[in-house]
Chain A
Amino acid sequence: MTATVTDHDNAYADLLGSDDAHWAFGHLPEIQQGEDPLAGVDTTVPAGLDPAGLAAYCLFLGDDALVMSHRLSEWCSNAPDLEDDIALANIALDLLGQARLLLSRAAAADPSVVPALPEGSPVPAEDALAFFREARDFRNVRLVEVPHGDFGHLVARLLLFATARLAAFERLTAHADPVLSAIAAKGVKELAYHRDYAARWFVTLAQGTDESRRRLLAGLTEVWPLQAELVATYDVAAETGVVLDEVLAAAGVDRPAVGPMSGHGHTEALSRMLAEMQVVARAHPLGTW
């Protein structure tokens, strides 16, 4: 009848600085120019690590978070109820926060990954990477970029994604780059929550009504072929398999009998998504936001 939870994490922690000023009534904002997500952090790449390799890895991790966050943000004002609208926005915000840190980390490790902008452009590195790269230069897996379907599709995709990413982040907390390991440590708490959210809905939909089970299985079957690439890229096939089997067993669901999708690179969906995401930024390469 009464239940308890303690020590939750805060999805908003670094959105507007840590001060309480936004609680104050009625005075004008102090102007803060686009803060660098890594402001004040020593971004020197440790000796023995290849800066280009580190940047490429951070780009892949950052692009996955960015694209997944974008797809989740498309649910805003479209969720089954207000409580889930808020929960999905929290997850999208967590991932967007991860993307900002990781893209900034990539740019600091190897500035040559950042696309060149016109002379005098004030666009920060994280935004140059997000808004001024072509689709072919994005390193995200295909699972995160395919267009969203119904809530069953969302739950299946989020479960696969959060499970693999959490396993990878747990390992990355021991990475030789202290910046990446700190980003991973922060992300682990967030991803554990995302996985929990998805797993709970997975079981609920699987055992709810005939319709919810049918829709969940349809969504799962649709995203399953993209799972192989996901776990291979994150190199977490074993850990992921154990967790997924537990959730599938609790839900009474079998692994879909569909093979992995062949090929690599991107689907047709990514360039379309980026066309929308980048349209304003690209129209104003000298603009400041």
Chain B
Amino acid sequence: MSEWPLYEVFVRGKRGLNHVHVGSLHAADDAMALHNARDVYTRRNEGVSIWVVRADAIAASSPDEKDPLFAPAGDKVYRHPTFYSIPDDVPHM
């Protein structure tokens, strides 16, 4: 049984401002991600406009973050989920 993919959520608080990253959520597809974002992140009317994007579709560059591997450009935002299995049992990588 697979988990729904992770989406990143960006909300524009009011007209005239930029969209800012507010968090993430799981959804099976874009439409569901938008619905979920509205329910989860705007329950108190904090935004007028929402963007969602699959986390694995974001290319990331953050030279200041000291990744152990100097990976090629276009790396992922997060350390790769399958990199680690169950934390309790993981030997030192």
Taking the complex as a whole, does A directly touch B, i.e. does some CB pair lie under 8 Å apart? yes
Q: List residues 60-87 of chain A with CB under 8 A from any CB of chain B.
A: 81, 83, 86-87
Q: Are B57 and A1 in contact (CB under 8 A)?
A: yes
Q: Which of B25, B44, B51, B53 contacts A83 (CB 8 A)?
A: B25
A13 is contacted by which of B45, B47, B54 (Cβ under 8 Å)? B45
Give the residue of A1, A10, A83, A200 whose beta carbon is less than 8 angstroms from that of B54.
A1
Report which A residues bind B (CB closer than 8 A).
1-13, 81, 83, 86-87, 90, 196-197, 200, 204
Whether B42 lies near A83 (C-beta < 8 A) is no
Q: How far is the CA of A81 from the CA of B52 in the complex (A)?
A: 18
Q: Would you call B21 an interface residue if the criterion is a C-beta within 8 Å of the partner chain's C-beta atoms?
A: no
Set of chain A residues within 8 Å of B31, measured between Cβ atoms: 3, 200
Q: How many residues of B contact A (CB 8 A)?
A: 29
Measured CB to CB, the closest approach of chain A to B59, in angstroms, equals 12
Which positions in B face A, CB cutoff 8 Å? Answer: 4, 25-28, 30-40, 42-45, 47-54, 57
| A3 & B45 in contact (Cβ 8 Å cutoff) | no
A-B contact pairs, 16 of them (CB 8 A): A1-B53, A3-B52, A4-B49, A4-B51, A5-B50, A6-B48, A6-B49, A7-B49, A8-B42, A81-B4, A83-B32, A83-B39, A83-B40, A86-B36, A200-B31, A200-B35
B76 to chain A, nearest CB (A): 15
Known contacts A9-B45, A86-B39; 10 further A-B pairs (Cβ under 8 A) = A1-B30, A1-B57, A3-B34, A5-B34, A5-B49, A5-B50, A11-B43, A83-B27, A90-B39, A90-B43
Contact of B45 among A5, A10, A86, A197 (CB under 8 A): A10
